[in-house]
Amino acid sequence: MSLLPNDAKKIEIENSTVDFFEFLEDGLKVYYFDSSECAPPEPMINAMLGLQLLKDDNEKLVMINHKAPGGLFPKIENNFNFEVSNIEENKVKVEFSHKIGSKANTDFSQNTCH
């Protein structure tokens, strides 16, 4: 099951271990990646790289993963909103967006699960 629209464009993200894509959806620029087949720490690494793409309130990041990345949330909760939904057995979709009014203080080098 792919959640990518036909007009999604592959983009290059340095140091990522999966493909990233961008597309427009309801007026928002969406960045998308699927780390559901990756083992730790790859989902965390890719999520941190993807979160750095978000520059304003008209953008969001969509992560497909085998489970909710619980170790990631405490590291980003001051600056990002996240919503987790089950999309099929053993796969979740996590949507990230900037928290309005938050000061950028996420340490993106903290990309391990511990």
Q: What is the pLDDT along the chain (114 residues), one digit of tens a residue?
A: 567 999 999 999 999 999 999 999 999 999 999 999 999 999 999 999 999 999 888 999 999 999 999 999 999 999 999 999 999 889 999 999 999 877 777 777 776 655
- Report the predicted TM-score, pTM, of the whole model to 2 decimal places: 0.92
| Cα(24)–Cα(83) distance, integer angstroms | 19
Class of domain 9-98: alpha beta
* DSSP label of 35: -
3-state secondary structure of 7: coil
